[in-house]
Structure 1
């Protein structure tokens, strides 16, 4: 089976980390997010995929020059201009000449969804398109999808006001499409699958949805990115490449960590340096980050080659950009973002 993986967004909520790195290339416990997504697809029989690229496309192409990611053969479709979600699907499918049932995956969503079951549901219902659904406590930030008893979508409500959603089942960002869906997408310009395509298919009664309560996480915010890492440290499978998780922390073999440092739910990537009497908790240090002696880092992300001066205290939720320097004895917490373009 084939898939389109949507990775064209700018990842603005994760800035400054995403000024230089697309969010799907950010690592989870040392392995780029996109690799875990592709491993999951391969486990469900996906052999070929199209990366729908828009923002910083060369970062993907240079990282995987042989056009293979985690065993899945890749085609790179670079949008000539921002096309939104449905426009990106249209462009990628035509670029790769898809002519049979295919998957569409949001590349920044982590899930243990049984994709094979979703495809079987799609075929059993002779659907034109099928959406995976996931229950959430507050659906107001998502596309809400009420269905009939047979799974047929009766409406598609994008980001309803809090307390007014007709269901708590949301669009989980994994779809099965027939090629005929492409005919429902305007041939040019920006088109949203959530606001344009799905409502049109729902009106034609050819859109179905399957609910599933497996693990699901949209990684688009610093808090969610931290949670994704901590979940892997605590047992969620992301990639077969990850090893040597110990005491709910992972340290690259190329990192230098003082024996007096205390780590809990911490990720310390390659070439990092952690000084004496440092405490790192629920945090991620990206490649080459330096945390000097006596620091406390909690619920924060330290970008590549950033330096945290000695005896500084960083609390939830600090995001320090690449190569930024935090002065010694700094105290930072709240929605702190350091670094820009």
Structure 2
């Protein structure tokens, strides 16, 4: 890495000070150097993810693994691949999970520091408490840690000629009502950002990825003082100022997980690019088709049939005569019993699924135990989330951490079992069952 700047003695009267720029190898086209102003980034990762309960009762949303990688790690990798290695992460809820995973960042090719947001009051407040971590930076990135992105997505903003303040947007009209509408005036000037638009015709969605400079902290202070606690509040005030806010439109990948069933969809998209590898023991008579990754110390027992994309973690015991397929992710030290069938599901670490089970389109959290001959139905359903009901196009059931389900249980589509629930054998369950409940 090299820095270039012109000696201040050569600056002409009235000339704007020259910015320090950085020469960085372009990972997407190594023959072309990148010239980026951005030296530092701030990842917002303090929230819980209430709509993902009971999964987020024990880990923050940013640490949910998809295709075997925590969501926030995709964000860190995207920054590092663009040469932005000085990263601050705002942590709060279950902060130890994030800090233990990343440490000082050296393992990920980054230098990572942490900002503590003791009370999760909103993203504008998170930005304000991070001011000292960003002092001295002419421009910096601010982005959420709970969306899956790739290097190409950030590159769209970094290589654009738009100076701060700027935001990254995407043309996805069917999602505007869920993420907020960005309306432009002219080519790229943001006219307004509406979080709950009634009419979204022609609008873009905001990806929650921003380029700011130091002047944003004065605006953040005013917004927080008025009780306006999110970055969209900051953007709305900035649009009224002289230079406004510019939008950069990207066609790069951006995936959001709002509800548990979104985890299955995003995991499936990520698994489509899985490269197969085997580090475990494959017994005689096993059939493996497609891209299948098998972790070290795992055993796939005779007669089992695995159709990729499938990822099986380390230390797992699968079969004999088990069937696993369709973007299934199995965590470390999990066990799938004989003659069980697992399709399009997330099976957490240290979980156990007995013999003869039929599990599809479902999430089995860490440490859960499913008795033999249990099964689920799946399909479109409406699921209680907080005080509302949300529609899932396709979902089976969710078993929270350390759930115990007896033999012969049937879970109807849309069933949510909270952490630590215990279900007696031969029951038919449906609806939302709170944590630590017993079904007898």
Q: By the TM > 0.5 criterion, same fold?
A: yes
Shift in CA distance, 127/139, structure 1 to aligned 2, threshold 3 Å: same
**Any residues of structure 2 matched to 1:233-248 within 5 Å, and which?**
233-235=271-273, 243-244=293-294, 245-246=309-310, 247-248=325-326
- The 2-side partners of 1:194 and 1:41 are apart by 20
Residue 139 of structure 1 corresponds to 176
2:361 to 282, 288, 291: 282
What's the counterpart of residue 22 of structure 2?
none
Report the secondary structure of 2:73's partner residue: helix
How far off is 1:125 after superposition? 2.9
Tell me which residue corresponds to 2:375: 296
Residues 340 and 311 of structure 1: CA distance in aligned 2, closer, same or farther (over 3 Å): closer
Aligned ranges 1:259-274 → 2 under 5 Å: 259-274=338-353
Greater alpha carbon shift after TM alignment, 54-63 vs 283-292: 54-63
Q: Report the CA distance shift for 1:64/1:216 in structure 2 as closer, same or farther (over 3 A).
A: closer
1:117 aligned partner: 156
Return the offset for 1:137.
0.8
Pairs within 5 Å for 1:147-186: 147-161=184-198, 164-186=199-221
User: SS of the residue aligned with 2:189?
Assistant: coil
Q: Is the Cα–Cα contact under 8 Å of residues 118 and 132 in structure 1 kept in the other structure?
A: no
Task: Give TM-score, length-normalised by structure 2.
Answer: 0.68
The aligned counterpart of 2:23 is none
Q: Which structure 2 residue ranges, 5 or more long, are not aligned?
A: 1-38, 276-291, 295-308, 311-324, 379-395
Give the drift of 1:7: 1.3
C-alpha offsets along residues 298-320 of structure 1, whole Å, 9 cap, x if unaligned?
Answer: 53332222222222222433333
Tell me the distance in 1 between the aligned counterparts of 2:401 and 2:248: 40
Between 56-65 and 283-292, the greater mean CA deviation after superposition: 56-65
Alignment correspondent of 1:196:
233
Partner of 2:7: none
Distance 1:271 1:235, change over 3 A: same
Q: Relative to 1, partners in 2 of residues 1:29 and 1:131: Cα closer, same or farther, differing over 3 Å?
A: closer
The residue number in structure 2 matching 1:228 is 266
Deviations 1:40-93 (A, max 9, x none): 222222202111122222332344444557333221111243341122112223
Deviation string 1:270-299 (CA, Å, 9 cap, x unpaired) is: 222111111121223222221111111453
Secondary structure at the aligned position of 1:209 is classed as strand
For the Cα contact (< 8 Å) 1:272–1:287, is it kept in 2? yes
Aligned residues of 2:153 and 2:254 also touching (Cα < 8 A): no
Out of 325, 338, 341, the residue aligned to residue 434 of structure 2 is 338
The CA deviation at 1:195 is 4.2
Query: For structure 1, which segment, 96-105 or 84-93, has the greater mean C-alpha deviation from structure 2 after superposition?
Result: 96-105
Q: Distance in 1 between matches of 2:144 and 2:120?
A: 16
Partner of 2:58: 20
Is the Cα–Cα contact under 8 Å of residues 109 and 219 in structure 1 kept in the other structure? yes
Paired position in structure 2 for 1:325: 422
Contact 1:143–1:194 (CA<8 Å) still a contact in 2? no
For 2:211, what is the secondary structure of its paired residue?
Answer: strand
Give aligned pairs, total. Answer: 332
Confirm or deny: 8 A CA contact 1:19 1:340 kept in the other structure: no
Is the counterpart of residue 218 in structure 1 residue 262 in structure 2? no
Q: Pick from 68, 76, 85: which aligns with 1:30?
A: 68
Q: Secondary structure at 2:174's aligned position in 1?
A: coil
1 or 2 for the larger relative contact order (CA 8 Å, sep ≥6)? 1
Q: Which entry has the higher C-alpha Rg, 1 or 2? A: 2
Stretch deviating more after TM superposition (14-23 or 243-252): 243-252
In the other structure, the counterpart of 2:337 is 258
Indicate conservation of the 8 Å contact 1:133/1:209, yes or no: no
Say if 1:230 and 1:266, in contact at 8 Å, map to a contact too. Answer: no
Q: Distance in 1 between matches of 2:216 and 2:436?
A: 40
2:58, 2:255 → 1: CA distance? 23
Question: Residues 285 and 301 of structure 1 are in contact (CA less than 8 Å); yes or no, is this contact kept in structure 2?
Answer: yes
Of the three residues 77, 88, 91, the one matched with 1:39 is 77
1:130 maps onto 2:167 in alignment: yes
